[in-house]
């Protein structure tokens, strides 16, 4: 539109936890839990009152997801069959919260790549699946830790939080309400994963990413990516859900139930999300007069290798190559909103000026976001 500022992504950053868990380690811990559960409930299982649990396996995980390992904030608690959840140190209110600390680390890398200081940024958005607390906003804490003047807020659109955050920042810069926006996505997904559920115990890892959005004419990075346009879409579905929240204590009969962690109907999600996302990207490209033969790269949400392959095929009209559709699932697993940004961060430098790509997310809601970009 005439009069609106052109916006670029001038920097990205990634914070990667030091600890990792391989599929072999995860399976060993899960199967130890299964053996103990089945032994402890032997009589009830024989009476048909309790269903015996089934062991997991490395081939099952890799075939179902394409994941080989994941980075985590705490390994020992997850692999302890008696705990099977991360154990993180309780921090005082005078210390940086763990999500803010992760976000700041990723943000500093993004700012360095973009050539920006705190004085250049006037808005911060923390966009992620599960916020550490209700208030004060993690984003305001990040703003304070980085010494940024201006304003900040949190937002949650599950796995699509990063692209929805980019949309918000893009609109701010385009309209002139902000000159430079930091969007960061700290994700401790292992905190809301049920490691005792065979169908999902392998899905998530932890990470944080950050993106710098600014006006094209203020960018000093060597080769930023101009945002051609954005598109967002939501359709309500219960097939991915987490019912944990501040009202849980008002309904004590549900405290500790499985639905207070991540739950999904995987087959339904696959069947319904693939056509939704594929159609959204194709319609967005058509709107911007971009043919699929002009699309050089797809940085898709890193949820499931089989899902991504099918979306890529539908959008490209053929199976995409690994270069056209990079996959970071083997190393990072599903990191919710951060996945597509990790892929963009790691697989964008080789593109030539004028090359076009799409950053795409999809997840609970259902929610989906498409960001078309062109290398400057």
**DSSP per-residue letters across 138-176:** HHHHHHHHHT--SEEEEE-BTBTHHHHHHHHHHHHHHHT
Does 189 qualify as catalytic in the annotation? no
Range of the domain at 331: 225-375
What is the reported pLDDT for 3?
65
What mean pLDDT is predicted for residues 46-75? 96
Tell me the per-residue pLDDT of 8-32, one tens digit each, with 9 for 90 and over.
999 999 999 999 999 999 999 999 9
**Within-domain flag for 63:** no
* Segment holding 187, helix H or strand E: strand 180-188
What is the reported pLDDT for 292?
87
> Does position 274 have pLDDT exceeding 50, yes or no?
yes
> Does position 88 have pLDDT exceeding 90, yes or no?
yes
What mean pLDDT is predicted for residues 171-193? 97
User: 128, 159, 180, 360: which is the annotated catalytic residue?
Assistant: 159
Rounded to a whole number of angstroms, the distance between the first and last alpha carbons of the chain is: 19
What mean pLDDT is predicted for residues 288-310? 95
**Within-domain flag for 117:** no
Dist CA 237 CA 336 (whole Å): 17
Dist CA 137 CA 10 (whole Å): 25
What mean pLDDT is predicted for residues 167-181? 96
Tell me the per-residue pLDDT of 50-62, one tens digit each, with 9 for 90 and over.
999 999 999 999 9
> Does position 331 have pLDDT exceeding 90, yes or no?
yes
**Nearest CA to 192 among 183, 181, 180, 205?**
205
User: Each residue of 168-207: b (16+ CB within 10 Å) or e?
Assistant: bbbbbbbeeebbbbbbbbbbbbbbbbbbbbbbbbbbbbbb
Q: Into how many domains does the chain fold?
A: 1
Confidence tier at 264 by pLDDT (50, 70, 90): very high
**Within-domain flag for 98:** no
**Within-domain flag for 288:** yes
Q: Which two structure tokens, joined as six digits, stand for 194?
A: 């049920």
> Does position 1 have pLDDT exceeding 50, yes or no?
no
Q: Which residue has the tokens 């990191």?
A: 335
Q: Is the peptide bond before 366 cis (omega within 30 degrees of 0)?
A: yes
Q: Of 158-162, 215-219, 252-256, 273-277, which gets the smallest average pLDDT?
A: 252-256
**Within-domain flag for 216:** no
Residue 234 sits in a domain of what CATH number?
3.40.47.10
Tell me the per-residue pLDDT of 226-243, one tens digit each, with 9 for 90 and over.
999 999 999 999 999 999
Beta bridge partners of 367: 234, 363
Prediction pTM value: 0.96
Residues in the chain: 376
β strands within 4-130, DSSP E: 7-15, 19-22, 69-72, 123-127
**Within-domain flag for 311:** yes
Confidence tier at 282 by pLDDT (50, 70, 90): very high
What is the reported pLDDT for 2?
52
Average pLDDT, the chain: 96
**Within-domain flag for 105:** no
Dist CA 340 CA 69 (whole Å): 17
**Within-domain flag for 193:** no
């Amino acid at each position: 539109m005439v009069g609106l500022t052109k916006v670029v992504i001038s920097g990205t950053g990634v914070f990667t936890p030091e600890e990792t868990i391989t599929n072999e380690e995860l399976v060993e811990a899960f199967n130890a839990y299964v053996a103990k559960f089945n032994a402890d409930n032997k009589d009830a299982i024989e009476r048909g009152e309790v269903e015996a649990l089934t062991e997991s396996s490395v081939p099952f995980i890799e075939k179902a997801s394409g994941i080989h390992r994941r980075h985590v904030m705490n390994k020992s608690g997850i692999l302890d069959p008696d705990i099977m959840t991360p154990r993180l140190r309780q921090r005082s209110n005078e210390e940086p919260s763990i999500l803010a600390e992760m976000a700041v680390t990723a943000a500093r890398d993004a700012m360095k790549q973009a050539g920006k200081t705190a004085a250049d940024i006037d808005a911060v958005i923390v966009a992620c699946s599960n916020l550490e607390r209700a208030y004060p906003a993690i984003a305001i804490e990040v703003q304070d830790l980085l010494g940024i003047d201006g304003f900040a807020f949190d937002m949650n659109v599950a796995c699509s939080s990063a692209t929805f955050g980019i949309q918000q920042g893009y609109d701010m810069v385009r309209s002139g309400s902000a000159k430079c926006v930091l969007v960061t996505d700290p994700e401790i997904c292992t905190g809301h994963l049920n490691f005792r559920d065979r169908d999902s115990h392998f899905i998530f890892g932890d990470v944080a990413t950050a993106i710098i959005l600014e006006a094209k004419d203020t960018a000093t990075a060597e080769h930023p990516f101009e945002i051609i346009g954005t598109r967002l879409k939501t359709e309500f579905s219960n097939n991915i859900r987490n019912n944990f929240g501040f009202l849980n204590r008002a309904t004590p009969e549900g405290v500790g139930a499985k639905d207070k962690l991540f739950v999904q109907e995987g087959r339904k999600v696959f069947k319904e999300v693939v056509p939704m996302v594929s159609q959204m990207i194709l319609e967005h490209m058509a709107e911007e007069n971009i043919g699929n033969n002009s699309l050089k790269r797809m940085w898709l949400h890193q949820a499931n290798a089989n899902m991504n392959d099918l979306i890529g095929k539908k959008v490209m009209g053929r199976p995409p190559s690994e270069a056209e559709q990079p996959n970071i699932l083997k190393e990072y697993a599903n990191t919710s909103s951060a996945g597509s940004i990790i892929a963009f961060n790691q697989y964008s430098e080789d593109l030539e000026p004028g090359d076009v790509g799409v950053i795409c997310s999809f997840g609970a809601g259902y929610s989906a976001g498409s960001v078309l970009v062109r290398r400057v």
